[in-house]
Amino acid sequence: MGDNAQDSRSNILEAATAAAQYAHQAEKLSYIAPEHDSEGAGTAIQAEYITPQDPIIITGDGGRLPGVPLAEAEKLNVLKAQIEGEPGDVIKGEAPTDFSPSPERGESPEKGSNKENGTTRKSQEGSLRKSMPPSRTHPLFPPLPLYGPSSISRDLQCMVFRTSSFFLSLGFLGVIVLGSAFTSIPLMFRHIWKRLTFRDPDDERPFNEEEKRRKKARKEQARTWKKEKSRRRSRTKMDDDNEDEAGHGEFIPTEGGKDPIVCDAGYYARRVGLDVEELKVQTEDGFIITLWHVYNPLEFTPMTDAQRAARGPDIFTDSGPSRPGRPKQKPKFPILMVHGLLQSSGAYCTNDDDSLAFYLCKQGYDVWLGNNRCGFKPEHTLLSYADPRMWAWNIRQMGVMDLPALTSRVLAETGFQKLGLIAHSQGTTQTLVALAKEQRPDLGDKLTVFCALAPAAYAGPLIGKAYFKFMRLLSPSFFRLVFGIHAFIPFMMTMHSLLPGNLYGAMGYRVFSFLFDWSDTRWERDLRDRMFQFAPVYVSAESMRWWLGRECFAKQKCILATRDEIREEEREDELEEYYATEAGEENPPSHYTPQHERKPKGATAWYNHQVPPFALWVAGSDDLVDGRRLLRRFEKGREPHVRVVHSKVIDAYEHLDVIWAMDMIEQVGREVRDTLWRTCDVRDRVRVPVGCEEVEAWVDPKDEGLAKEEEEREEGQSGSE
């Protein structure tokens, strides 16, 4: 009896200790401190794993808070399991099914999930940390800072960071603005000198004559807009049998006249006979992001406010039927477009009919423009702008959370199982990160093709500029002192709202040109001020620290490999070239590796069998990122699962020329249109885009090989008979 009583007291004491520890851990991770939350609605109750490396916090009322460090999330779940009488290594909740053990990822069965006595183990037997897939990318994605619920000390800390960063980041921005102004002086004097000597200052621009012609035509259109508006004919009945009518029909502008230069993608769409509706999308960690749908108002009925509102955080739950109001003819194939760093997807809408989004829409695609978290208007289901947890994210969360949420909503609205993805710059980064086998590879099952414009996987020489080196010298704590723990230099957004469009556009171009070595040589200069109405947007200081701080991209020069891994791969490539061109293995170099000891080319692959086909357009004169290096990685066979269906290096192009150059449609747009159709998996169910009537479907070499083997096998059988 004595032993039983002692065991009982011991169990009670352990349970009480676990309960106290759980309460303390929950308080640390809660939305509202439990003592101020009588109903427990904002109290953390458990961590849910979006991926094995991405936990989010679930509150008492089902609310969601952004991710926390893995150790903190695991501790909360283990303590919860203990006080509920479950084994300490069990974490309640369904594991992400796409992260079960797979030979493709080199995982052993004992690391996966199984079910014993009705209990689901999460990714998974033993502690989560021990059972996670081995991560090569940890040095590239260090843990984000942990901020608890509001308190006097935390609010004071935030105030200190906001005050210091306001003045210090403003000083940094002032230096950049002065630098851009100083470097503009020679250009200004050169322009004046050419004017004084009766020469055209723009005579060296490659599209000078075309720019003049378009400017003249635009002025004529503005003069006649009011006269034509009253005489515009009404739309005639659509011929249901004409599948190409969307491409060949008349697109009637509903806006016109002189361009007021506004930050409104819908306005520019209406100038070319299209329109835009805005949807709200909720991510799995509670952010509300915007999704723009570009459509032809003559054949599509926009949604109601209720239909455009954000839905629950669950993604890829279903692909519903086509919405009412769609034409009876075949639907258009959906494509999602994602923007670059400090931009919004309005960047695809600034060049009238030569805008990539409008071009693809008129060619016959269903175009959706995705924007990342915060954007022009930071929104979250629980958090406010002032809460530092609102800004505790970087490129990893944008890829693992934002991109799947946008993809899921487009598929749900259109009723398709897959879509085509187009991304530029940072948009390619978040896609490349999300598709990695250690991140969220199941996203690849939802994509027919990934079209990467100016792919940003490797750093270009620009990362060595003095101001970028300065940011790399700052320690993480000092970086937060200079740039804060909230939005990155929010004063830029204040100026965006206060300055006239043309003045802001001129200043924006000068500053960004100075920072990133861009020029407007190939852009239509008359439209340049429009282009900078959609930049910058709100981004977190943590995301900029990931790009430019001392720990991550700026140090490693790559998004999914460390410097040591890159050097090792370069050494292996040098050896391979030596064996192929010199004396081979008869006269090996000092660092020779015998054939049987060499690692297979795919040993350091970033992607598994779920990765979709890739198409890449590389800007050959791009100093910001090194797209050629990514192409070489594919050519060298380091990604055995990646199937490159199209690749092109445009030598004269700079980083933004792939979306803004005057000849972008000829160099990029038409090829993107054809590639989307070539890889479309439902060609018999959708409208044929204009100009794609002769484009043949792409056949996966693997499928082609299997078909050939089957054919040979059948021939062999018939021959034997």
Long-range contacts from 147-154, C-beta under 8 angstroms, 24+ separation: 147/387, 147/388, 147/389, 147/392, 147/485, 148/27, 148/28, 148/29, 148/30, 148/33, 149/27, 149/30, 149/31, 149/32, 149/33, 149/42, 150/32, 150/33, 150/387, 151/33, 154/388
| Active-site entry in 37, 540, 655, 657 | 655
The verdict on whether 655 is a catalytic residue reads yes
Sign of the C-alpha dihedral computed for residues 640, 668, 329 and 303 taken in this order: positive
Supply the DSSP string of 320-387, one letter for each residue.
PPPPTT--SSPPPEEEEEE--TT--GGGGGSSGGGSHHHHHHHHTEEEEEE--SSBTS--BSS--TT-
Identity of the amino acid at 307: Q
Closest C-alpha to 283, from 145, 379, 148, 369 = 379
d(CA 147, CA 131): 26
Strand segments (E) across 620-693: 644-650
d(CA 68, CA 26): 12
Give the other-Cβ count within 10 Å of 199's Cβ: 10
CB neighbour list of residue 368: distance below 8 Å, 6 or more residues apart: 291, 292, 293, 294, 334, 335, 336, 337, 406, 410, 419
CA angle 557, 558, 563 (to 5 degrees): 65
499, 507 Cβ separation under 8 angstroms: yes
Closest C-alpha to 454, from 151, 598, 661, 198 = 661
Quote the crossing angle between the two packed helices 670-678 and 356-363, to the nearest 10°. Answer: 50
| Active-site entry in 622, 623, 626, 674 | 622
- Residue 475, SS3? coil
Q: How far is CA 502 from the centre of its chain?
A: 29
The verdict on whether 425 is a catalytic residue reads yes
Phi first, then psi: what are they for 303, rounded to 5°? Answer: -75, 165
* Cis previous bond, 327, omega within 30: no
d(CA 454, CA 620): 9
The verdict on whether 596 is a catalytic residue reads no
d(CA 482, CA 460): 25
| Active-site entry in 123, 169, 425, 540 | 425
Residues tagged active-site = 425, 622, 655
